[in-house]
Chains A and B, each alone.
Chain A
Amino acid sequence: MGDVRMTQLSPTASGMLPGLNTLLSRYAESMMWLARYMERIENLARLIEVTEAFVRGPDGRTSWDTIVQINSDEERFSALYPAATEQDYLQFYITDVANSSSIKAMANSVRENARSVRPLISTEMWMQLNVFTRWVLDLQASDIRRTGLSALCNRIKQDCQTHTGVTEGTLYRDQAWLFYLLGRHMERSDQITRLIDTRYHTLLPQEEVGSEIDTTQWASVLRSAAAYHAFRRLQPVTTTPANVVGFLLKNEGFPRSLALNLRQTDSVLGALSTHYNLRKQCYAVQERLADLRASLEDQTAEEIIIRGLHEYMHWIQGQIETIQTELVTAYWPPAATQHVSDASVAQ
C-alpha cells in the first residue's frame, strides 16, 4: 500500500534519536491545523472558480449561494447581506477578515500556525508560506476584479499545491508529518461530504434525468472536487447522481474521495500507534474510524441516497469533528493551569 511507505520510519532513525518522542502537543495541533487550513483555502479557491464558470441556478445565473451553504454560513451571511450581490459574496469569502471562513482569515490562521511550527518545518516550507500568506493578507477587494477572479483563484490554488509539493519534498518524516497528514485527510473527508451534501440537496429537486442542465451541474460538482476527468475515465457514458456520489464517497483511487481519506487517516493513526508507541492514545479514535469506514463500505451509493444522503453526510461530519476532539484530548496531557491563548496578549 502506497501510504505505508509514506508513514514508515527507517529502523535506524528511531534508534538514533533519544528524544524522538518529544513532539510538543502544541506543535501537533498546529501541524494539523496548518494542513487543514491550506486544504480549506485550496478547496474554497477551486469552488469559487468553478462556481463562477459552471454553477447555475434554475434562472441560469451564477449560484453563489452554494458557497454559503457549503460553509454553513447561511444565517451569518444573510444577516450581513440581505440582498447580496456577487461582489458581496466574493468579498465575504476572499478578503473579509472578519469572516473566519474567508481566504484572508484562513491565510492568517495558516500564518499563525506556520509561525508556531517554524522550528519544525523546513526553511523552504516556511519561506513559501511566508510569501503566500503575506500576499493574501495584502489582497484588497479591488484586486479581485482587477486580477480577474479566475486568475486570482488559480494563483491561490497553485500556491496551495506548491505548498503541498514543498512539504512532500522537504518535511522530515516524523510525528509532526503524521499530524500534518491527519489534518489533511480529515479536512478532505469533511470537505467532500459538505460538497456532496449541499450540491445534492440543491440539484435534486430540479432533477430531470438526462437533461442538458442537469449533466452540466453534476459535472460542476465533480469539478469542484477536481474529480471531473478521473470520473470520466471510469464512467464514460452515464452521469447519474448516484454515480457521482458513489465516486466521491467510495472511490479508492481518487485523492479527495471520502473512502481514500478515511483509509489514509487510519493508516496514519496506525503509524503513530506502532512506530511511536502511542497505542493508548490512538485506540479510541481508531475504533471510531473503523466503524466509519465499515459503514461506508457496507452501503452502495444508491442505498446511501435512499436512506438519506443528508443525514449520512451530517453524521460523518459529526464523527470527524468528534475524532478531531478526541485526538486533541488524547495527545494533550492535562493542564495544571489553564493558560489563555497567546493571541489575546499580543502587545
Chain B
Amino acid sequence: MRSNVLQSQVQEAGIFSAYLKPSFFCELMNRGEALPEALQLVQDRLSQFDIKELRHRTSNAETQLYRLGITFTVYSDREAIDRVLPFDVIPRVLTADEWAFIEKGVQQRVKAINLFLWDIYHDRKILQDGIIPADLVLKNANYCQAMVGVDVPGGVYVHINGTDLIRDRSGQFLVLEDNARTPSGVSYVIENRHMMLRLMPDLASGMPLRSVEDYGLRLHRALCDVAPEGVTNPQVVLLSPGIYNSAYFEHVFLAREMGVPLVEGRDLLVENNHVYMRTVAGLRPVHSIYRRIDDAFLDPLAFNPESLLGVPGLVEAYRQGNVTIANALGTGVADDKAVYAYMPRIIRYYLEEEPILGSVETHICAEPEGLAFTLANLEKLVVKPVGESGGYGLLIGPHATESELEEFRRRLTENPSNYISQPVIDLSVTPTLCDAGVEARHVDLRPFALTGKTTWVLPGGLSRVALRKGSLVVNSSQGGGSKDTWVMSV
C-alpha cells in the first residue's frame, strides 16, 4: 500500500515523476547541459499536467483522426484497412539555434543533390574525377536513361526533399538517409499541429512557435517557379495513383492546400507532346505536375507498359520541355543507400564546403573491404538493403537472433552489392505517453525542403517515434507514431 503522502508527491511532480532519464540524449529532459530556456518553458508547462489529464486529452485524438479520415491504407490479402498514424500528445521541441543549423544543413544537401543529378545526366565530371564509382551511378537501378541530356528548368531535379535526421548520444544531428523521390509525411506535420492546438491549447498558448501553415502555398510557388519557360499562369496538378493508394489522404491534403486539381493518369492525355487534362469545358493545358507515382509507372510508353496509372507520352512531353515533372525522373540515384556513403564527398566536390550535417559511417558491401568488415562485425551493425524503404528487410545486429544473423551472412555473401552496413546509432529519445506512463522513446526527424527558385525548409518536420520500448524503427509500417514538432522562434 502506498501512503497518501507518497501519492501526493507523485502528483506534484507531474507527468515526469517516473521518467527514467535514459543514458541516451533526451530531447526534452536530458541534454547533458543546462536546458535552453525555451525547452525549460515547455517542460515546466507539461509538468503541470497529470497523467490522467493527458490520457483524457489523448483519448479523443485517434477517434478524431479516424473520423476526419486522416488515415493511411494498409492492404491485407482481401481487405483495405484505414489506419491512423498514432499521435503522441507531448511535442518534440527544437530550439531556434538547432533549427537554424538544420535548415542550413538541409539547404546545403539539397543544393549538392541537384548539382550531382545535373552532372550525372550531363557531363559526368564527378565520375571522370573518380569521386564516386561510375558503376554505382550508371548501373544503378534508379539511373534513368531517358533523363540523359534533358535540361530541367532551373537545374532543379529534387523539388520536394525529405531528409531523415537522427541525433546520436551527444545530440549531434546526423543524416540517416535522403528521400529524393516522392517523400511522404508532410501532411502529418500540419495535421499534427492542428491536432495539438485542438487538444492542448493551454500548452501551446503564447509559445513562440514557428508556423507550418505555409507549406501548400510554398509548394505551389515552387511548382510555378519551375514551369516551362514562357508560361505566365501555369496550371499545376497533383498526379496520384488514385483513391486506393495508401497515401491518398496526403495527396488530397496537398492538392487542397495548393488549390489545384488532384488528377489520376486517366484525367491526363498527351497530344503533340503537350499535356492536357480532361475538364468539363474540354482539354486544358497542364504545365507542372507534382507526381506521387513512381518513375516506373509514369508512362507506359517509356517504362512499364503494364502501368495503368500513368499517362502515355508524358515522358516525351517532359523531355521536350513542355511540362515539368516534380520530382524529376531518375532522382532515385541520389537517395540510394550506397550513394549515401559518398554524400560528404559529393558536397565537398560541388560546393567546396564541409558538410554541415554529419553522416553515419557507412560500409558498402559491394566493396570487398566493406563486405569483409560487415561480415566480421555483423552482430554490432545495422544492415540495410540499398533499394528498400519503409524500414523493410533490415537487420539490427544487436537485436538479432543467431539464425537471423546466419541468414544475413548468407544473403550478404550471395548478393553483397544489395547491402550497406552502419554502426547502431543510439538514437535520441523523447518523453512519450505510453501505457505505463510517460517514457523515453526513440525519435527521428524528417524536415521537408521545397526548391523552386530558392530552397525553403518547412520549420520542423515529421517527428516519428518508435512506440515499442527500445525499438529503433520509427516507420509507420513498423509500429511507429508521430509527434507535433515545435520549432521555437526565439
Contacts and interface: CB of A to CB of B under 8 A. Distances in A.
A53 interface: no
A26 interface: yes
A21 interface: yes
A247 interface: no
Interface size class of A (residues with CB under 8 A): 35 or more
Nearest to B64: A127
Residue from B243, B270, B284, B309 having most chain A Cβ neighbours under 10 A: B243
Contacts of A118: 69, 252
A25 B265 CA distance: 13
B242 A26 contact: no
B255 A119 contact: yes
Nearest to B281: A21
Contact of B279 (A22, A335, A339): A22
B261 A22 contact: yes
B266 A119 contact: no
A340 B264 CA distance: 12
Contacts of A336: 269-271, 312
B312 A25 contact: no
B235 A19 contact: yes
Residue from B69, B242, B256 having most chain A Cβ neighbours under 10 A: B69
B233 interface: yes
Interface string B27-44: 000000000000000000
Interface string B239-255: 00011100010001001
Contacts of B281: 21-23, 276-278, 281
A254 interface: no
- Chain B's interface: helix, strand, loop or mixed, by majority? mixed
Interface in A288-347: 331-333, 335-337, 339-340, 342-343, 345-347
A175 to B, nearest CB: 6
A18 interface: yes
Contacts of A22: 235, 261, 277, 279, 281, 284
Nearest to B260: A19
A115 interface: yes
B312 A26 contact: no
Interface in A98-119: 112, 115-116, 118-119
A342 B242 contact: yes
Interface in A218-253: none
Contact of B69 (A28, A127, A179): A127
Contacts of A87: none
Contacts of B265: 339
A112 B235 CA distance: 26
A336 B313 CA distance: 11
A340 B75 CA distance: 21
A131 interface: yes
B67 interface: yes
A342 B264 contact: yes
B13 interface: no
A33 interface: no
A137 to B, nearest CB: 11
Given A22-B284, A119-B262, A346-B80, A332 B235 contact: no
Contacts of B199: none
Nearest to A23: B280
Contacts of A72: none
A23 B278 CA distance: 8
A98 to B, nearest CB: 15
Nearest to A123: B68
A21 B68 CA distance: 29
B449 to A, nearest CB: 24
Residue from B276, B277, B279 having most chain A Cβ neighbours under 10 A: B279
A281 B252 CA distance: 29
Interface in B275-303: 276-284
B267 interface: yes
Contact of A26 (B248, B267, B283, B284): B267
B263 interface: yes
Given A116-B243, A276-B281, A333-B278, A24 B67 contact: no
A26 B308 contact: no
Given A19-B235, A22-B277, A25-B278, A346 B67 contact: no
A115 B248 contact: yes
A126 interface: yes
Interface string B296-328: 000000000000110010000000000000000
B69 A130 contact: yes
A347 B279 CA distance: 28
B279 A115 contact: no
A127 B68 contact: yes
B67 A131 contact: yes
Nearest to B263: A24
A126 B276 CA distance: 28
19 contacts: A18-B233, A21-B284, A23-B281, A24-B277, A25-B280, A26-B278, A115-B243, A115-B248, A175-B280, A179-B280, A281-B280, A333-B279, A336-B312, A337-B312, A342-B243, A345-B308, A345-B309, A346-B80, A346-B244
Top 4 nearest A-B pairs (CB, nearest first) are A339-B266, A346-B244, A115-B243, A331-B280
Given A119-B255, A331-B280, 17 more contacts: A18-B233, A22-B284, A23-B280, A26-B278, A118-B252, A126-B68, A127-B67, A131-B67, A272-B280, A276-B280, A333-B283, A339-B266, A340-B308, A342-B242, A342-B243, A346-B244, A347-B244
